[in-house]
């Protein structure tokens, strides 16, 4: 962390805030605003950290938004992201050597791989300089942040969670949100599909307590490795060695059999009883919505150790764009070669941050035969973390760059027909709130690899079209048309819903000569002129099996909040919003410098 701070200062990538700020809302609100700035703003170092509620003043600073730009990602990796991807590609395509020179070259490459394996050291590490055991244990001595007003409490958001299989043969490093309940209990948000949950199942079946270590800080690359989508059973710290060209150096924890990097800033050790659970949440998550209360396992802390000079690393999640935009970019580039081993005709893929990553993927492929794109959909929906993707659009090799959204959307809409859609059902991320039941819901695939020739509709102006719509739907409030130059323009209608959206759609079929794709959203909390946030809202809110319908060439999409009117029986979560009194206080102190246009564009409240 100290080396990282020096590097960020040297590169003019760090903003140091010396004003006294609270771990409750104030610090995370400033970080939330910072990452909304152009190119992700700066990393933030808060040096005067307090807990107003308890009157505690912390010795250590809090560091945030450390990965929050493309430049900072590559600084922390110590090399270009593409060079890592190229190296993985080379390893995956390594061939038997032909001739003496090839053998020497391969020997050199294989010799360099010896450094990818973590190395266990004897004795203690810098992370164990200060020890808290038994009655000295107190999680409240760590400046853990409470990010949002409705959060169930303070949460560790950049924790490296180290676990191992029951027999000790497999080790895992993951990242999960961790709720601080009291001085010695920490929640384990192990979603059912995650690797640590699979290991936990082994202990639960055996009726044994599970050892867990949570590390915070150290080399920021440890934290990124915790998010790496490696196959089950592969040690994520191998990625550290591959990228850094040196082994991660580990020491044994004091009260568990687990090993952790010797240079992390904090280690929280403990044991999870598989027969005990606590209510976890709510928590304002990266979906931009609160995830609701649910029962999860928890850790009883058996030791806390720290560096002498430590830094608390944290992130903030909520509505996009966020720090995970840049971390996700690095992950996508690096793991493209591995995904290609499953889908060899894949050229590239991209997950827009306002699609919430799992909610939307764009993929470019080389189609070879009819139905090839649909085959790819099944491949994606069955490949590791890709299986959580809700909406996937597949394009051929002639499509524009996947991050050139305007050109790409034009390309898709000029080739689209309702026949392009493939709707299925599969697993969903545990954070998804849109489906009628948890963990399972609708999937939408769109095959844009082949062009359907359709004539464009007869366009009307927004005002004229809105008046026609209101004749059939008095609940309609606002309307805006997008991509009017394409064969399939998109019409967004906001309304105060009093009936199902399918009923509204059926009422508009008589306007099919003027409307091609129609998206319905609630008038409350939406701006029909804000395309970025509409993508965020709609991809979050739709379940493809329930919320997409068509008639002829006309397609309807229900992006509204679901209620019992829609036969939706689950609790619909609230948006993650800034607390206005906190924002006003930060403004008055001259600390809040986010432009009001960005505040409105990204709908911070």
Hunting for tokens 């199902």 — which residue is that?
A: 500
Torsion sign across C-alpha atoms 50, 54, 56, 60: negative
Q: What pLDDT sits at residue 116?
A: 85
Instruction: Say what the alpha-carbon torsion angle 57, 58, 64, 66 is, to the nearest 10 degrees.
Output: 150
Residue 461 pLDDT exceeds 70: yes
Mean pLDDT for the stretch of residues 261-267: 98
Tally: H helices and E strands in the chain:
17, 33
Fold entry, domain 462-566: UbiD C-terminal domain-like (3.40.1670)
| pTM for this predicted structure | 0.92
Distance CA 223, CA 604 (A): 27
Where, residue-wise, is CATH 2.30.110.10 in the chain? 2-78+117-314
Q: Does domain 2-78+117-314 have CATH number 2.30.110.10?
A: yes
Crossing angle of helices 323-342 and 70-77, rounded to 10°? 70
Q: What pLDDT sits at residue 540?
A: 96
Q: Please write the tens of the pLDDT for every residue from 361-372.
A: 999 999 998 889
Q: Please write the tens of the pLDDT for every residue from 95-147.
A: 555 565 555 454 555 445 677 889 999 999 999 999 999 999 999 999 999 99
Q: What pLDDT sits at residue 112?
A: 58
Residue 94 pLDDT exceeds 70: no
Going through 373-450 in order, the beta strands assigned E by DSSP cover 391-395, 421-427, 440-448
Q: What pLDDT sits at residue 342?
A: 81
Where, residue-wise, is CATH 3.40.1670.10 in the chain? 323-448, 462-566
Q: Mean of the per-residue pLDDT values for the chain?
A: 92
Beta bridge partner(s), residue 558: 520
Region 323-448: CATH code: 3.40.1670.10
Distance CA 402, CA 349 (A): 7
Quick check: 489 and 455 in contact, CB under 8 A? Answer: no
pLDDT band at 90 (very low <50, low <70, confident <90, very high): confident
């Amino acid at each position: 962390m100290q080396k990282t701070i020096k590097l960020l200062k040297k590169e003019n990538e760090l903003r140091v805030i010396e004003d006294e700020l609270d771990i409750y809302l104030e610090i995370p609100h400033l970080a939330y605003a910072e990452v909304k700035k152009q190119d992700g703003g700066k990393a933030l170092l808060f040096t005067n950290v307090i807990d107003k509620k308890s009157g505690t003043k912390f010795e250590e600073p809090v560091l945030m938004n450390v990965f929050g730009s493309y430049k900072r990602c590559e600084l922390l990796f110590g090399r270009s992201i593409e060079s890592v991807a190229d190296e993985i590609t080379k390893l995956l395509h390594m061939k038997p050597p032909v001739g003496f020179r090839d053998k020497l070259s391969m020997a050199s490459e294989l010799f360099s791989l010896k450094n990818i394996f973590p190395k266990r050291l004897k004795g203690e590490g810098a992370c164990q300089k200060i020890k808290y055991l038994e009655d000295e244990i107190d999680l409240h001595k760590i400046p853990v942040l409470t990010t949002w007003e409705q959060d169930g409490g303070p949460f560790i958001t950049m924790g490296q969670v180290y676990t191992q299989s029951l027999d000790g043969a497999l080790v895992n490093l993951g990242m999960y949100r961790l709720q601080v309940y009291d001085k010695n209990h920490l929640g384990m948000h192990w979603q059912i599909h995650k690797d640590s949950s699979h290991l936990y199942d082994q202990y639960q079946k055996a009726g044994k307590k599970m050892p867990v270590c949570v590390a915070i800080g150290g080399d920021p690359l440890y934290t990124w490795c915790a998010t790496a989508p490696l196959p089950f059973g592969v040690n994520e710290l191998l990625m550290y060695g591959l990228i850094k060209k040196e082994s991660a150096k580990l020491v044994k924890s004091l009260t568990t059999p687990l090993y952790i990097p010797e240079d992390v800033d904090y280690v929280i050790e403990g044991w999870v009883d598989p027969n005990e659970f606590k209510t976890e949440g709510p928590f304002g998550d990266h979906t931009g919505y609160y995830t609701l209360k649910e029962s999860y396992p928890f850790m009883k802390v058996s030791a806390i150790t720290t560096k002498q000079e430590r830094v608390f690393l944290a992130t903030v999640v909520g509505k996009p764009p966020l720090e995970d935009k840049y971390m996700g970019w690095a992950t996508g580039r690096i793991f493209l070669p591995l995904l290609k081993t499953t889908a060899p005709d894949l050229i590239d893929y991209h997950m827009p941050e306002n699609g919430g990553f799992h909610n939307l993927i764009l993929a470019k492929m080389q189609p070879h035969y009819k139905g090839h794109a649909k085959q790819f959909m099944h491949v994606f929906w069955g490949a590791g973390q890709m299986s959580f993707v809700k909406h996937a659009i597949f394009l051929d090799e002639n499509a524009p760059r996947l991050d050139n959204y305007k050109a790409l959307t034009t390309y898709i809409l000029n080739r689209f027909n309702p026949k392009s859609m493939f709707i299925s059902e599969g697993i969903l991320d545990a954070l998804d709130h849109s489906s009628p039941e948890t963990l399972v819901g609708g999937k939408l695939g769109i095959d844009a690899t082949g062009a359907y020739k359709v004539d464009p509709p007869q366009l009307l102006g927004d005002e004229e079209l809105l008046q026609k719509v209101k004749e059939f739907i008095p609940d309609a409030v606002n309307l805006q048309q997008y991509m009017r130059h394409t064969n399939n323009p998109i019409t967004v209608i906001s309304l105060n819903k009093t009936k199902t959206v399918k009923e509204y759609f059926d009422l508009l079929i008589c306007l099919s000569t003027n409307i091609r794709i129609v998206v319905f959203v609630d008038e409350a909390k939406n701006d029909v002129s804000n395309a970025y946030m509409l993508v965020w809202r709609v991809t979050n809110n739709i379940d493809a099996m329930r919320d997409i319908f068509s008639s002829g060439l006309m397609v309807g999409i229900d992006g509204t909040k679901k209620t019992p009117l829609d036969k939706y029986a689950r609790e619909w979560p609230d948006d993650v919003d800034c607390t206005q009194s906190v924002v006003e206080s930060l403004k008055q102190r001259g600390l809040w410098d986010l432009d009001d246009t960005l505040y409105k564009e990204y709908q911070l409240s």
